[in-house]
Amino acid sequence: MWITASTGVMVAAIGLLYSQILHTDLDQYLPYLAIGLITWGLISTIINESCTVFIGAEAGIKGNSIPLTAHVLRLVWRNVIVFGHNLVIVAVVLALFPIRIGWEVFLLLPAILLVALNGVWMGLFLGVLCTRFRDVAQIVINVMQIAFYVTPVIWHADVLKGRHWAVELNPFYYLLETMRAPILGGGQLAHVFGMTALMTLAGFSITLLFFARFRSRVAYWL
């Protein structure tokens, strides 16, 4: 809950500041920001920790026959639990700044499942890659720092107007909107879920081939 408390303080601070900078009503901006920040925390933490998921489990991998996928599933599940705690922040924000919530809210659980599944294939891919090439982990961390600013986490995609294609090409946008759409609503619901599902299938298709090819070598790379 200390993580939740610190995240709540960050949401309040950024919300109060950027609602003024972006000239946006706080009651509309704060729910958008709260969902975006805690979802980004889930995604970025899974990706960053995936780089060391097998390196950190070296003793277990060498000492027993637990499948490598178990280490990734544990990583994803731990972060989903933290995300569940952070949803308290969204509940508090919605209590302070009520918005209309429709039937779409029932899609929140499938949305969490979709994001978690994407975390699994990313974890498997990055886990193997970073075990072989240790410097890739630092590259991933730097890329995620840049991605935070080019992804509509604290700003709204609509501000790009005629350049919305720049958002459409960003895979993190669909992961974020998959979480936002069930709570905030919007006409892009089917499109967002469809693109996220497509990304999930494509990611697993590539990752499973990659993982099957190199998983037997992970223990030797550690």
End-to-end CA distance of the chain: 34
SS3 68: helix
Distance CA 155, CA 167 (A): 11
**pLDDT tens-place string over residues 186-220:** 667 888 899 999 999 999 999 999 999 998 898 88
Domain-by-domain residue ranges, the chain?
A: 2-221
The pLDDT value recorded for residue 97 is 82
Q: What is the mean pLDDT of residues 20-29?
A: 82
Specify the pTM.
0.90
Instruction: Specify the pLDDT at position 101.
Output: 77
- Alpha carbons 170 and 204: distance in angstroms, whole number: 18
Residue 220, C-beta contacts closer than 8 angstroms, at least 6 positions apart: none
Q: Which residues, 6 or more positions from 67, have their beta carbon under 8 angstroms from its beta carbon? A: none
**pLDDT, tens digit (0-9, with 9 covering 90-100), for 32-62:** 899 999 999 999 999 999 999 999 888 888 8
